[in-house]
Amino acid sequence: MKKNENDAKNVMAKDELQKPREPQNSVKSTGAQEFFDVNGKQMTPQQLLADYQKLTEKTLYMKKQSKKAVVRRKDELSLKPYQAELIKLQLHLEKNNEKIIILFEGRDAAGKGGTIRRVTRYMNEKHYRVVALPKPTETQKTQWFFQKYVSYFPRGGEIVLFDRSWYNRAMVEPVFGFCSKQEYQNFMSGVTGFEKDLVRQGTHLIKLYFSVTKEEQAYRFERRKSDPLRQWKLSEVDVQAQDRWDDFTRVKYEMLKRTHTSIAPWSVIRSNNKQAARINAMKVILNAVDYEGRDSSLNFVPDPKIVVSGARELETLHAEQIRKGNFKNYSGIDTSFFDFDDVEH
């Protein structure tokens, strides 16, 4: 009797094993709505489709980020040979007790700060300084205009990079009314003599103006607004930069016309392409000094599509001036600033 019971249990167990199992991802219907069992979770077709779309978007985003990372890495590697040359330049300055001042000028979001970071990335920190001065104090306003800048000038064997410089008086200040007509005209009439003395007394002076298009500037401003890592860069002056575009173009024209000299020339860097701007700015800096150990296998010739002289940029701006009707699209700048008849040149 006991044997028969055991046989019956074995048959039942065998039958249970032979029953077809319900698939893990099964379909169940409750009325008109179908549900799919996905890893123990009941999901509608709409939910499955939404999850699939999210997964697809995430995959595309990851591919895009991966591609960007590869491009960034490639760009950084292409800078390294020139960064190595900048170290040789530093050693030359130290050995010969020479000094360099580099001015980084240009519109907001033109790429000045990013270029400065790449230029100095591998330099000896003891022999270079980056200077970005805040607005002048009440005491500084009573002093000789150049005094606050002179106090930061390099000693022998040193490089000083000005992230905006005394040319604030030629660009930002007249546009926003931060200086008087007399202060502006005094500066424009005296700055070339100041720079001539600087060079005559042994300082290498390199003046870089980063030029970006209005469309590219607008794009970069939008990135700053939406990216929490860049929002700190956006200032009240930046917000007005697009509206005052023509005003800045006019003061740029006047600045180049009066301060581009053979002794202290301007190099204008087309900076819509940040990578091209950075590598060509490095070439301009390296070409300013005849240092030892230059790598003859490197191309030190700036791209003429990226780097143009101040004189050539003046020609371009003059053509634009004629086309637009003598820069008539002002939003408030006092054009009498540019009348120098009563100021000694």
Q: What are the structural domains of the chain? A: 80-338 (3.40.50.300)
> Smallest Cα–Cα separation from 275: which of 114, 68, 163?
114
Task: Provide the pLDDT for residue 345.
Answer: 38
State pLDDT tens for residues 268-312.
999 999 999 999 999 999 999 999 999 999 999 999 999 999 999
Predicted confidence (pLDDT) at residue 103 exceeds the cutoff of 80: yes
Q: How many CA atoms, within 13 angstroms, populate the side-chain half-sphere of residue 85?
A: 24
Contacts of residue 246, defined as CB under 8 A and 6 or more positions apart, other chains included, come to 324, 327, 329, 330, 331
Which CA distances in Å does 83 have to 118, 128, 311?
8, 14, 28
State pLDDT tens for residues 222-234.
988 888 878 777 7
State pLDDT tens for residues 153-201.
999 999 999 999 999 999 999 999 999 999 999 999 999 999 999 999 9
Predicted confidence (pLDDT) at residue 116 exceeds the cutoff of 60: yes
How far apart CA 112 and CA 262 sit, in angstroms, is 24
Mean pLDDT of the chain: 87
- Residue 344: pLDDT band with limits 50, 70, 90: very low
Q: Tokens in use for 107?
A: 């519109």
Q: Which residue has the higher pLDDT, 93 or 232?
A: 93
Q: What is the dihedral of CA 104, 331, 250, 307, to 10 degrees?
A: 40
Burial of 212 (0-12, 13-18, 19+ CB in 10 A): buried
Angle between helices 181-200 and 245-259 (to 10 degrees): 40
Classified as helix, coil or strand, 208 is strand
> Smallest Cα–Cα separation from 191: which of 313, 312, 103?
103
How far apart CA 182 and CA 253 sit, in angstroms, is 19
Minimum mean pLDDT among 100-104, 135-139, 193-197: which range?
A: 135-139
Q: Tokens in use for 286?
A: 């390296």
Task: Provide the pLDDT for residue 296.
Answer: 95
Is the pTM higher than 0.85? no
